[in-house]
Amino acid sequence: MLNAAVRLFNERGYDATSMYDIAVSLGITKSSVYHHIAGKEQLLQMAMDRALDGLFEAAEDVRQQDLPAIERLERLIGRSVLVLAERFEFVTVLLRVRGNTEVEQHALTRRREFDTVVTELVKQAQTEGDVRPDIDPATAARLLLGMVNSLSEWYRPRPGGAAAIATAVSAIAFEGLRL
Amino acid sequence: MLNAAVRLFNERGYDATSMYDIAVSLGITKSSVYHHIAGKEQLLQMAMDRALDGLFEAAEDVRQQDLPAIERLERLIGRSVLVLAERFEFVTVLLRVRGNTEVEQHALTRRREFDTVVTELVKQAQTEGDVRPDIDPATAARLLLGMVNSLSEWYRPRPGGAAAIATAVSAIAFEGLRL
């Protein structure tokens, strides 16, 4: 049911999708849907949680590694690409949310927390002398995540595709395009 | 009127904005609005054209420069950041469009044309030996523009801000974060 709802949210927009539409797309009655789910907003929250939980699991895994900050940063950015590819429809829902309700505001707060994790890694890597000191860490974090999040606009699943993109993101972000 | 409409499109969404809302926000009657404009879609088209015209003017300026492809690419990416900052509300409208109508489809086609300009510059720079050959040019173009377009999510105007961000984008994309 969550998958069906998320597909509709992304196709038509969250506001334009009704519980009736979700029921129709599953070939069941609206009352059957309400048997499982309190309402549309619960589906939105579940979808955004699937995206955010993936990102925070990656952050937690990386945090526990005994590595220089730049290595942890590079791994976290790579993992974020994979989360985005694996949970594509969920992340797309998350990235389109504008904060119109409490549930959306809560998701935006968690997104900002994730931005802060990335910003802190950039800062630490600067302190360790591994990242150029002339870039504001928060700006660097936003640009790194901007690159990653852009996948929601153009990524199309194919075997090995996500790994190749993670490698490209890493190469551009850490080594630069210039030979 | 265009500015007022674009502000509402970005605050409430295009679909949720009516010609009546636009009239109210200007303190005039709906019939006065229709005196100047055929309908909401014309305002959408004008907004997207302002964004796209800025990008294509930058592409044309850069095309005429007698410089290696990598220099032209770097200038075009920098110029795109400035266009996004200067025409922020118009670009934001453009980036949120999903292609639901003919006007939106036309804008998406022009966006893809711009992506192609960037892809061709990456290709040419690879041929000239200035860009690492291990990255797919179309992927590189999407990631570069992903970084630039992410500004629509987080950029807040302040003096010198856009120039600093253009420098940061350029540093990350072409030289990489790693020292």
Q: Which of B143, B152, B154, B174 is the mutation pick for testing A, counting most A CBs within 10 A?
A: B143
Enumerate long-range contacts of B151-159, CB under 8 Å, 24 or more apart: B151/A146, B151/B81, B151/B84, B151/B85, B151/B88, B152/B84, B152/B88, B152/B91, B152/B92, B152/B95, B153/A142, B153/A146, B154/A142, B155/B84, B155/B85, B155/B88, B157/B85, B157/B88
Q: Report the 10 Å Cβ neighbour count for A152.
A: 19
Domains with residue ranges and CATH for chain B:
45-175 (1.10.357.10)
Give the C-alpha separation, A98 to A172, whole Å: 29
Give the C-alpha separation, A3 to A13, whole Å: 14
For residue B16, what pLDDT is reported? 86
Q: Which of A172, A174, A175 is the mutation pick for testing B, counting most B CBs within 10 A?
A: A172
Q: Is the pLDDT of residue B159 over 90?
A: no
Radius of gyration of chain A (CA): 18
Phi/psi class of residue B18: alpha, beta or left (left: φ > 0; alpha: ψ in -120 to 50)?
beta
Give the C-alpha separation, B92 to B87, whole Å: 9
For residue B98, what pLDDT is reported? 84
For residue A137, what pLDDT is reported? 97
Q: How far is CA B13 from CA A15, A162, B89, B94, B143, in A?
A: 10, 31, 12, 12, 26
Record: contact B143-A175, CB cut-off 8 A? no
Q: Is the pLDDT of residue B121 over 90?
A: yes
Q: Is the pLDDT of residue B99 over 90?
A: no
For residue B155, what pLDDT is reported? 95
- Chain B nearest CA to A150, separation (Å): 5
Is 0.85 exceeded by the ipTM? yes
Q: Does A149 touch chain B (CB under 8 A)?
A: yes
Q: Which residues of chain A have pLDDT under 50?
A: none
- For chain A, first and last CA: distance in Å? 48
Taken in order B12, B18, B22, B25, is the CA torsion positive or negative?
negative
- Chain B nearest CA to A33, separation (Å): 27
B75: Cβ contacts below 8 Å, ≥ 6 apart:
B62, B65, B67
For residue B5, what pLDDT is reported? 94
Instruction: Report helix, strand or coil for B130.
Output: coil
Contacts of A174 in chain B (CB under 8 A): 176-178
- For chain B, first and last CA: distance in Å? 48
Average pLDDT estimate for B42-57: 96
Specify the residue for token string 């992410």. B150
Q: Could you read off the pLDDT of A23-50 as tens digits, one per residue?
A: 999 999 999 989 989 989 999 999 999 9
Q: Is the pLDDT of residue B114 over 90?
A: yes
Record: contact A177-B147, CB cut-off 8 A? no
Kindly state the greatest CA–CA separation across chain A.
60
Q: Which of B150, B177, B178 is the mutation pick for testing A, counting most A CBs within 10 A?
A: B177
Closest chain A residue to B123, measured at CA = A177
- Chain A nearest CA to B131, separation (Å): 5
Nearest to A146 by CA among B165, B126, B137: B165
